[in-house]
Structure 1
Amino acid sequence: MRIGELSRRTGVSQRSLRYYEEQRLLTPTRLPNGYRDYDERTVTTVQRIQILLSAGLGTAAVAEILPCVVDDTVVLAGSCPELIDGLAQERRRIDAAIDGLIAARDILDSLVGRPLHRQDAPAR
């Protein structure tokens, strides 16, 4: 399939698909006319890339993880155990960022006269 069809089927822009290729996340074949040609499995690969990017991972981490995904999910249970520590570290980084944002929101709330811990906000 050509890039336009892959874009339609995945909801990912052609520009992003080209970027994924630059980052070596996708490796389409080239037709004699220079057009990219993607096989059917690429749809699943793009969906996996989207999930991993939405988890806050960069394309370098995604490139390491993709070969470890062996089924229809993105769960790494048992495969590539060497990645688990790095993913745990990334989770700690995200937790720290969330804590920093909550602290900033609390300060902002206090500046506008709201209580530091809003009743409608979920506890952390």
Structure 2
Amino acid sequence: MRIGELARRTGVTTRALRYYEEQNLLTAERSASGQRHYAETAVDRIHLIRQLYAAGLSSKTIAELTPCVIDGKATPELLQRLAAERDHLDRHIADLAQTRDKLDSVIDGASSNMQTGAPCPRDASA
């Protein structure tokens, strides 16, 4: 498939797809006229790349990890790196959950203040 179709099917801009190629995250065959042509598997690869980016991984890390994730080829060092990335994600998830819980507490407290007519501390100084 050509770059425009891949962009449409994945919701990624053509600019982003070119960037993924530059970062060695994605490969394309070139036609005689220089047009990019991608395999059908590129759709799944793009979804994986976007998930890994969303998880906070850098393009360099993604490039290092995708052979293991996609092809199942892993050295002991790569498995350790995957475990370290997973541990990083676990810590990030725990931090996000703690932040969410704090926000819930603030929201609940603000709701109670609104119901009783008591001002929030910030409103009291205004």
TM-score of the pair, normalised by structure 1:
0.66
Bigger helix share:
2
Aligned to 2:85: 86
Q: Which runs of 4+ in 1 moved over 6 A?
A: none
Q: In the TM superposition, what is the alpha-carbon distance from 1:68 to its structure 2 partner?
A: 0.3
AA paired with 1:7? Answer: A
CA distance in 2, matches of 1:40, 1:79: 30
CA-based RMSD: 2.9
Residue 19 of structure 1: aligned partner: 19
Letter in 1 for 2:19: Y
Number of equivalenced pairs: 110
The DSSP-based 3-state class of the residue aligned with 1:53 is helix
Q: Provide the secondary structure at the position in 2 that maps to 1:39.
A: coil
Partner of 1:108: 107
Which ranges in structure 2 are unaligned for 5 or more consecutive residues?
114-126
1:31 corresponds to: 31
Rounded to whole Å, the distance in 2 between the matches of 1:58 and 1:23 is: 10
Post-superposition Cα deviations, 1:21-40, rounded to whole Å, max 9, x if no partner, equal 23321122333433222223
Distance, in Å, in 2 between the alignment partners of 1:86 and 1:70 is 16
TM-score, normalization by structure 2? 0.65
Q: What is the distance in 2 between the residues matched to 1:46 and 1:79?
A: 25
